[in-house]
Every structure is written in C-alpha cells, then in structure tokens.
Structure 1
Amino acid sequence: MNTSVSILVVDDSLLELQMTVGYLRQYFEVHASSSGERALEMISTHRPSIVLLDVNMPDLDGYEVCRRIRERDKHLKVIFVSAYDSTSEILKGYTVGGNDYIVKPYEPIILLSKINQAIADETEFEQASHSSADLAMEAMTSFGELGSVLTFLRSSFRITTVEGLANLMMRTLDAYGLETCLQLRTPKTAINFSHQGATSPIEDELMSRISKMPGRFAESGARMFVNYEHTSLMIKNMPFDDDVKMGRIRDNIAIMLEGADERLSMIAIDVSIQESLELVKHTHQSIVNDHMVMIEQNMDELKAALLKLDLNNDQERELQEIIQNGKQALSANFEKMHDIEAQISKVHELVQNNLDSDKHAQQAPGSIDLF
C-alpha cells in the first residue's frame, strides 16, 4: 500500500462510498465523506493527494465543491465521478477546475488507472526555457495581429513534424494572450497540446469531443471551440465582452487553423513518402539478395548434374556455354536492378536530407522570418 498518497472519496451514496473505499484501501490511505460540506472541512484540516468527487449530491453538488476547493488550492487533484456523460457536464467539471472525469458505472481497474495517472502528474510542469526563436516570435507581435498570422503561415512552410507545427501554433496563440488547448490529427494518431505544456485527462476528453463537432465554431461560457478536418482548438479566455477584439481574433485564428490544416496534410504526405521509400528500398534489396542466392544454388545444382551425366566433350561444352550465357544475361539484369537501387537510395537520401535541414532550421536561433 502506498501510504504517501491519500485519497478523499466524496459520495452521498453510502453503498457506493463503501465499495470505492474498500477497493482503494488495498493501495492507498483512504478517507471518506458523504457530503460536500464535510469534505471541505476535511480538506482544510488534512489536505489529501486526490479528491474523488461525486457530482450529484444534495447539499453541495460536486461542481460547487470543486469551485470552493479551487478558491483555496489551485493544485489539488480533483477527479469527478458521475453518471452524466454529456459534453456539457464534462465541460462544467472542467470549467470549475476538475482534472479528470469518470462516468459511472466504471470498472475498478479504470478508477485505479485514473488515480495513478493523477499521481504521476502531481509534479508541476516545468516551464520551457525561451529559445531565441521564441523571443523572435514574441517580438513579432509588434507587427500586429495580422502580422502574427502571416508570419505563422510563412514559418509553417518549413515545419516537417506535428510537434514542430504545434509549437509554432502555441507561440502564435500566446502572442494573442490566449489560453488554449490544441489537437492535431494525422492518419495514425491524434496529439493534444496545451499552453501549460501537457494536457490534463479532462482536456483530452474535451478535445476528443470537439474533434467530432459538426460546425467550425461553437461557444460555451468564456470558451470558444474551433474545429477543422485535422485541427481542433479550445480557447479558454475568449474576450466576449469586446466584440471588436473577439471578431479580429476569430477571423485571424480561422486563417491560421486553415493554414495549419493544410500544412498538417502535407506533413502526413511527406512522412508517408519517406516510409514508402524506406519500404521499397528494403524490399528491393531483399529481392536482389534472394535472387542471388537462388542463382548460386541453381549453378551448383547444374554443375553437380553435369558430373552425373554421361556426356561427351562437345555436349558438355555446349551445355556449359548455355549456362554461361544465361549467367551473363542474369548478371546484366542484376546490374540494371542495382542501378534502380542506387536511384531509390538517392531519392531517399534527398528526402531525408530535406527533412533534416528543415528540422535544423526549426531549431536554429532566429529561424523564424520577420517581415
């Protein structure tokens, strides 16, 4: 049992409370409360590592309890447990400061997994040091909001990785003073990013739902959601009280995300081309090697067969000549195959060098164009 981790379980259902506490006591120090008011008192006297918080309670619901927790403690991990599965309910939990959201009924192993993930995330995210490229991006904002978008589009042309594109987008969004979560999707995976560094589990769930949103834009409270084919964005602090500023941001972000969506498609194509070239190269080499082995084996078998045949000298010379001519023809074909292999290697090297130079350009100080 991990006694360094304490869990506070809050649920007005005594049966569910007993079942959850009984299960978790195998692994952690566990405390229990059947009301929100009592839970707040317990937190003030003995801060737990994690709070498992039921949403539907009679005195204070889980959302209000979490809101009061956040007034006192910004870092305490809060995991909501609820029978409600709608996006609006999950968004409520996120809005008041929840770190994760589990829908009832759930398997105990899922609960344990969520708790272990929260424990692993307990350490503060390290603030990334600003490179000179970061400073250049910050300085770029003096050219104005539209300049930020145009510079993003120009800089994105040389980006060759999903992570590189995400970093460029987050720096541009930071220049607007926006707090955001971003999801970039390729045919193989979907990756989430946050202005804080890593996304929380509840943010991951929200980004997954936003990606299935039918329209381009949606709003909820101070949040705006933007969704394209390969790119989704959640803005947490949209200035809805300033119509002019909000309109500018909305227009510029639409341009930026449309450009990012196109660039993400090209990155996926570039990676696919590189992987295909690598596969063709290895497959071709394997075929050549297999044929060389087969020819050598056939030649040995033919020579052994000649020794067993009762042939005169003229017949043996004739067969030897036929075999030799066939061997020369095969050798000529293999030379052509080696020429093809050399061309494949050359194309693969050009693609790889281009990708490597692009990555170096992304990392090099001052590599972002200013106009």
Structure 2
Amino acid sequence: MSDSASYKFTLATNNEEIENFCKDHLSEHQLVIYSTLTEIADNTIIDNPSCVIIDTTEFDDAGLETCKKLKEDEDTFKIPVVILTDADTIEDRLDCYLCGCDDVISTPFEGDEFKARVQVAAKNKQIIDDVQADANEIWETALEAMSTAGELGGLLVAIEKCILCNSYDELSNEIFAACEAYELNVSFQIRSTKGLFFYGNNLTPEKENMENELLSRAKDKSRFFDFGARTIVNFESISLLIKNMPLDDMEKYGRIKDNIAPFLSSADSRIRAIALQMEVEKQRSVLERLISDTQSAVEYIEKQYSEHKEQSGELLERLIQEMDAGFISLNLSEAEECHFRNLLENSKTQIMELYEGGLEIDNSFEKIMFKIRRTLKNGIS
C-alpha cells in the first residue's frame, strides 16, 4: 500500500526490538516513543498524534487499561489506538477490541502489513478530522448567514421605525437602539434648519462639548472617517461617532459599516422630513391665528352691519313720519306728497339692500374660512 502522507505516531513500549522495528518501518513519519504507559497517557492530548501504538507484549493488561482510558476521555477518544500483542486466541483479541482499540496486530509482526495497517488508522483519523473541519466551516458559514440575515431583518425594522418618527427625540431613541444591537457606544449630531442638536449617553458637559465639536469639524470629511477604534459616519443632516469599533473582529467591523450606512441614510432623510413637518406646523399655526383674527373681524363687521342697519332703518322711519307731518303744513298736493314719500321709501329700500349685500359678503367670508379650517384639520400635504 502506498501512502505519501506524513503522519505523527506515538509508541508506548519498553521492548528495544519492537522499538527498532517501528523506527525502521515508520522512518518517513514522525515517531515519538515513550517507555511507560503513564507517559503516553499524559502526553497524548499535547502530542495530538495521528495514531497511538501500544505494545502489550510487555505491558499486558495495563496496556489495555491505557487504551480504554484514552477511548473514554472526550479529548482523546477520536485518536486511533493500535494494539501490538503476542496473544494468539480470538478471546484475547476480542479483549483488545472491547477496550476500544481500532486495530490489533499480533506477533509475528510483518513489516509491510504493520506499516499499512497503522497508516490506514492514521489516514482514517485524517479523513475524520478533515470532515469535521469542513463541517465546522459549514456550520460557521451557516451561523454567519443566520447572523447576517438576523441583522438585515433588524436593520429593516430599525429603518421602518426611523421613518415613523415625528421628532428628533424619537429619532434619537431609535438610533441608540439600532446601535445597541451591535453593542456600539455612540453619540451623534443632528443638523437641520431648526438648529444643531447633539445626543450622547452618560457624558460630562466637557466631554459632550468636545464630541460635539469633533463632529462639527468632521462633518465634511468622507462618508466613513476612521481613527483608531473610532469611526465617524457622515451624512448631510447627521454625523455619528462610533467609539468602540471591533478592530479584533474585521468581519463584524465590515458588517457594521455595511448596515449602519443605509440606516443612517434613512435617518438623514427623516431629519429633513421632520424639519419640513415642523415648518408646516409653524405655518399652520400662523394660518390658524390669521383665520381666528379674520373670524373675529368678520364677526365684528357683521355686528356693526346689523347695528347700522337697524339704526338707519329707525332714522329713515322717523324721517318719513316727520315728513308726513310736515306735508300738512306745506300745503302739498296729494300727488306731491306721494312723490316725496316714494322717494324716501326707495332710498330706504336701497340702503337696506346695501346692508344685505354686505351681509352676503360676510357669509361668503364665513364659507371660505370654514373650508380653510376643514383643510387644516384634515392636514396639509
């Protein structure tokens, strides 16, 4: 059997002939020899050999107990154990297998067969180790994929919450929550037409001023501005200072940068939207005050119209009565009296019509203001 791989073997024997036999036939491999069973048992974890060879021709049952001990230890049970024995009965060989050994080679030992069988045992361990390594890699990849998927799901939720914020304080809480998911210690600066706002946790006034000044100076730097374990992420309306980037985990370091950028982009858009919303609310308030003032003015005018209408009607009525009384002393003909009376009645009618027209204008104002109030109540888009 040809096997070009190089393996590491450990041998427990105090038989010089067997020691030399193993050296001769395993010369292309690494061979560590112990003269006692205690030594090989104590050093197997450290040596981590491809195969353990125990010579029981000298150690008898103690060699089988050592094999059993290695196979019961969770740190060494995967390492193949080959027993060299001078026992020639099936019962003796079964005792070896019952102790957990992987193979039993009986005397007289034939060199090529011995070499082939211990190499097979070593190769099987190598195959198992490779399969385990592949399985571990697949598992780590799966965990990473699940972690990434979980982070992306969390990112989408964070973006959704961010979009629903109606104030900078609400938005700041969502930013802190999103960063806490990555175990990040952050502070940030929000810039808008409404002013400059700084948010940080558990900072002294001196440190707060220092970090705020740092963010102001770095806001025109690149999107990611790295210095040591700190990173500043810049957008038009927000700059975020990360104070504990994981330099010892570059994979996580990269994920943080990949995920924090789209989240802050949504926060940046929301900051401008909140500023616009605040401006609209301000204009709404001004308009509502204007409507209220106009309403008061219209009500005052309406009241004045009514009072003037009533007073004018009373004055004209008295004038007509006085002129009726005066017609007698003027010796006017009936036709002349009728003519003057018609003039006064027509004047009264025209004056009343003017007042009625003013009231119609007032009603038109009322309808316009009602529509404006309803629009404000339903919201201005």
The TM-score, its normalising length taken from structure 2, stands at: 0.48
Larger RCO, structures 1/2 (Cα 8 Å, 6+ apart): 1
Larger Rg belongs to: 2
Higher helix share: 2
The TM-score, its normalising length taken from structure 1, stands at: 0.50
